[in-house]
Every structure is written in structure tokens, then in C-alpha cells.
Amino acid sequence: MVLLYGYPESPFAQPKNVFFGHLITTIVGLIVLQFIPLPLYLTIPIAVGFGVCSMILLNVTHPPAGGNPIIVIIGGVSFEYLISPVITGSIIIIIFAIILNRFILKKSYPSQK
């Protein structure tokens, strides 16, 4: 939220990056949790590494999303976690960022590149 509200011009703060960054890293975390039966000290760095790599390759990097696999694995969450809080939370954050930046701070958000 610091990126969206404090640095809305950053490529990392754009809606596409926020939404898909969180979605992808959470999916990676869920896949690792379900299908790689290794100790936490191995599954967490594997999931974070694959999650960050996926964001970079798909050009949707959102740095805070890199922590999602850690939450998924330590919390042992189910696939329902994708709907709430990941998808609904991302949408709410993006809507608030648009309202704050466009209408209150009078900034151009999302960036018109």
C-alpha cells in the first residue's frame, strides 16, 4: 500500500502489477504447499524464488507480493485463500488507490504509459 499511495507513478504500483503479482505468487505458494513435501526451510525459499521469478518473467512485479508464498506455506491455507483475501483484497486496494490518487491527491493513477 505504500507503493500505491506513496509512489503511484512506480511501475510496481500499477493495478496490473498489484493484482497479478499477488495472484501469481499466491498460486505458486499454494502449488508448492500442496505438491512439494519438503521441510519449511526448503519450501519457503523455493516458493518465494519461483513466485518472484514468475512475476519478473510475466512483467507484473509487485515487491510486496513476494511475501505471499511465506504466508501461504506457514499458514497452510487452502485454495479459497485466492478469493479472499488475495483477489478481493487486491481489488479493494486498487479501488482505494484510484480514489485517493485521482480524486483527493489529483495525481494520474494508474499511469498512462
Residue 73: which of 92, 100, 46 has the closest Cα? 46
Would you call 37 exposed, middle or buried from its count of C-beta atoms within 10 A (0-12, 13-18, 19+)?
Answer: exposed
**Tens digits of pLDDT across the chain (113 residues):** 899 999 999 999 999 999 999 999 999 999 999 999 999 999 999 999 999 999 999 999 999 999 999 999 999 999 999 999 999 999 999 999 999 999 999 999 998 76
| Domain annotation covers residue 65 | yes
Residue 71 domain boundaries: 9-104
Report d(CA 98, CA 39) in Å as an integer. Answer: 41
| Domain annotation covers residue 2 | no
| Domain annotation covers residue 72 | yes
Number of structural domains found in the chain: 1
Amino acid, single-letter form, for residue 55: M
| Domain annotation covers residue 82 | yes
| Domain annotation covers residue 113 | no
